Structure 1
């Protein structure tokens, strides 16, 4: 009865403050280190959106490590997402198709640019019941978009279904991106800016400290935290495994289509920063302080070659500075601090179709144009095309080109898994998503990000991407089962899967995720063993 009265009182306050939410039900008020917050129920799950986990990184805190937020007065509104960081990418363009625009409804990269802000250090929490004293596993998600765009508020990342299905607490996080999170100013402005090239990753550490100190009030167990991420988010997870400041803040790691084996190099990052500052007309600290966020974004665009979007040029991301990130995360070996962390890692069969589908040549390649394209790309591409032609004789030249362009996902996954399994005391589990989405007549096959709505159990909400058939539901049931089981026990399992054996360099067992899943040994051995270009 007390809980019902409390919720009724909270609802009255919420409705008075926000008339448009009159049909909603408020959550209990939860006290955090920053102050009290109140969210809104989503289908019986308590959702707290836009909770501030660090002080605004503006003014004197711009380019500086994150700090705890000052405690606020009253009850903070946690019914809407916080702003994403300033964005550097727009998915719309002259070659955008109706299908890619539809997919943007669950990965709204263009929309983020309309609401982005430097004041972006917010997180979101979904829990079956806040304040009930529960000790549920906590699943913390770090968004994709490389290190340049994205947020934890994308619809595909909504944690409601996962929280309900698994009786877990789900957290998604915004953090500083691109020049706001990874601009190496140490060489130009000295020791005070020593951390500037890595503050975006330090934001992630701060979010995990917030989880450690506050998640119990939301019904979560701070001693059972799994960090997860896809694409750039997978790289963020990989780097957190090697950051001394993150040691002890999580218990398991999930890396999806984003193995972070290498870090950026400080000198290269400093050169890139110098070009950006030159475009912005920044010479002094006074100039830097006066620089508006929009001017910095414009300067980045002017200083960045167009081909950088495909990985052939300067990139934003964490740097191995010897302190915050001591070295490349998984070279020459896996990080010693994470030897006891169970790892679930994998990739999708046709990663690059999502990026290439809007290209004018997609679906139009002939064997001759494929040969010309791969010859221009070099021996690795030629070897990959021939290997995939043998594996998939029904693939068109377009799909052979696309799958060959995505070998870095497969090869990086196996390299990281090899390194971790060689020294870790905890198991490594590897998957390969081979189920193909039927949308667009099946033209995307198993593209980048297809795993996200499946493991989040958001297939119905993501029908524009996964289709509406029974197969999509089966895949979502299977993958969300496995991810929840991994968060709870450190072993991915589901009644829909065969027994999932750990990966070792002796047998390299990989779970191929399809409507009829199977455990196979070293399914892309030829690709894994292609000569690796020097980094």
Structure 2
């Protein structure tokens, strides 16, 4: 069954299934082809007739795009018309429904909207939007020419489209919640601080990512120069845009291999060596005026309701699925040596001696690999989440905005409470056959936890209250999601103290 909606640029035809209206692949900006290659998003031109919106649109170019259509990836290959979004709504004829805009993760390098199905948000009265945005050098090439952070500008363009069009799909443009995970959450941490994103959302949920991942523009420009050298072209946007896409992507993969083989902080920058992410937001002085966490502490985003959290064993995922966790030795930690391309413990700011002493005392039965994973979890997501909650709660005390903290503690079989395992619970989609998330869930993931967590996200988007007390610097109230969820108070005091002045 079809359903037609008229937006500001023209009409789109979606489909209806199980009472939910679905619109896929709607463009929110112009094609990135030709003169628009490697440039900020350009305005979309209106179309005549009715545009089909029953199939996923193109994914953004990325170093390892899918080779064919599949249920976990966009059903078209990566392409120039990648600035598109998907919508699930209970009824386009409704008025004033809360809106949730999902910003997906992928280390600022990979991306696919089709892994995220908003049906169950629509089932529960929310208009759910999932957006594409450019990744890798396409999204984060900084050449010092005033055109940095294009991927973030894509996100802003999508939010502006939502502001101007979502009422036609039943949503309230004044009640938009952005939510995202990993690099998506890191993006939201930046958006909270970005002048150009001011006023585009009322609430924000940051899952395993906060407001720390942005690099100095000098570092970003040096990496841009390395890419130009790899491509053997002048360090200009015009010259690099003229390079065939597949060669452009292959050069990024070659640079990543260089970084892993020679993780020299003097060459790449300490932030890049620690994260192994070549392409990430650049503090360019314009789009990102200064460090996002510093701007939030100074009051940016203080009128936005914020919920932020991480998973108990978050970064253990990557050591575990590669098998490296079993290879790390005490000597590797003590001498701060990298193992199979994973950064040495010393790059995270704590001395190896201090890290070993403190983490061993609090996790006495852990293997060396598990200790490294605990340090990585704190550096990547837990401490940034705590710093964001502290900064926002303090700044928002002068406004009516609220701050909430959570931790996800359900242990996936054989892995633990690792990175991304909370996502299917948030979407209330415990499909163990899913190629992306299914392997994390085991055979019998608890539906009650999905009911609780999904319900909290819907409640927060609807009213600003997820169902537990707000966070302040005195009690640090935190909801611990698990098979039996409960409120806890200041659950990470020693980590906060250990990383003070470091992270």
Select 1:410's aligned residue among 360, 371, 382. 382
Aligned residues: 473
Contact residue 29 and residue 42 of structure 2 kept, 8 A: yes
Deviation, structure 1 residue 273: 0.8
Distance in 1 between the 2:287 and 2:496 partners? Answer: 31
Report how far residue 272 of structure 1 moved: 0.9
Counterpart Cα distance in 1 of 2:173 and 2:76: 35
Q: 1:322 to 1:432 in 2, by over 3 A?
A: same
Once the two structures are superposed, the pairs formed by residues 324-343 of structure 1 within 5 Å of their partners are 324-331=287-294, 333-334=296-297, 336-343=299-306
Cα offset, 1:320, TM superposition = 1.8
**What do the CA deviations read for 1:166-194 (whole angstroms, capped 9, x no partner)?**
210000000111111111123xxxxxx41
Q: Tell me which residue corresponds to 1:525.
A: 493
8 Å contact kept, 1:374–1:382: no
Shift of 1:66: 1.2
Q: Contact 1:65–1:203 at 8 Å: present in 2 too?
A: yes
Preserved CA contact (<8 Å) 1:385 1:404:
no
Q: Matched residues in 2 for 1:66 and 1:316: separation? A: 18
Q: Is the 8 A contact 1:353 1:448 kept in 2?
A: yes
Query: Offset at 1:317?
Result: 1.6
Whole-angstrom CA distance in 2 between matches of 1:485 and 1:435: 21
Q: Is 1:87–1:112's contact at 8 Å kept on the other side of the alignment?
A: no
The answer to whether the 8 A contact 2:305-2:402 is kept is yes
Q: What are the ranges of 5 or more consecutive residues in structure 2 without an aligned counterpart? A: 264-271, 339-343
CA 1:225–1:453: 2 relative to 1, 3 Å: same
Report the CA distance shift for 1:199/1:507 in structure 2 as closer, same or farther (over 3 A). Answer: same
C-alpha spacing 1:365/1:147, structure 2 compared with 1 (3 Å)? closer
| Structural RMSD (CA) | 2.7
Shift in alpha-carbon separation, 1:114–1:276, aligned structure 2, 3 A = farther
| Contact 1:277–1:299 under 8 Å retained in 2 | no
The residue that corresponds to 1:275 in the other structure is: 226
Query: Which residue of the other structure, out of 78, 87, 102, is the alignment partner of 2:62?
Result: 87
Query: Over alpha carbons, which structure has the higher Rg?
Result: 1
Check the 8 A contact 2:38/2:241 in 1, yes or no: no
Structure 2 vs 1, CA of residues 247 and 328 (structure 1 numbering), >3 Å: closer, same or farther?
Answer: same
The counterpart of 2:471, out of the listed 481, 484, 503, is 503
What's the counterpart of residue 473 of structure 1? 447
Deviations 1:204-236 (A, max 9, x none): 011011101110111111110000110000011
Q: Does 1:294 align with 2:246?
A: yes
Is 1:122 the equivalent of 2:84?
Answer: yes
SS in 1 for 2:446: helix
| Selected match of 2:421 from 450, 453, 463 | 450
TM value normalised by structure 1: 0.82
How far apart are residue 400 of structure 1 and its match? 3.3
Does the aligned pair in 1 maintain the 2:57–2:76 contact within 8 Å? no
Q: Is the 8 A contact 1:383 1:530 kept in 2?
A: no
Contact 1:208 1:249 (C-alpha < 8 Å) held by counterparts: yes
Inter-CA distance 59–30: structure 2 relative to 1 (3 Å threshold): same
Note if contact 2:120-2:427 (Cα within 8 Å) is conserved in structure 1: yes
Q: Which residue of 2 aligns with 1:153?
A: 114
Distance (Å, rounded) in 2 between the aligned partners of 1:185 and 1:78: 36
Give 1:388 deviation, angstroms.
4.6
TM-score, L = length of structure 2:
0.87
> In the aligned structure 2, how far is the partner of 1:318 from the partner of 1:139?
23
Kindly indicate whether residue 143 of structure 2 is the aligned counterpart of residue 185 of structure 1: yes
2: CA distance, partners of 1:384 / 1:512: 25
Is the Cα–Cα contact under 8 Å of residues 475 and 515 in structure 1 kept in the other structure? yes
Q: In the alignment, what sits opposite 1:355?
A: 318
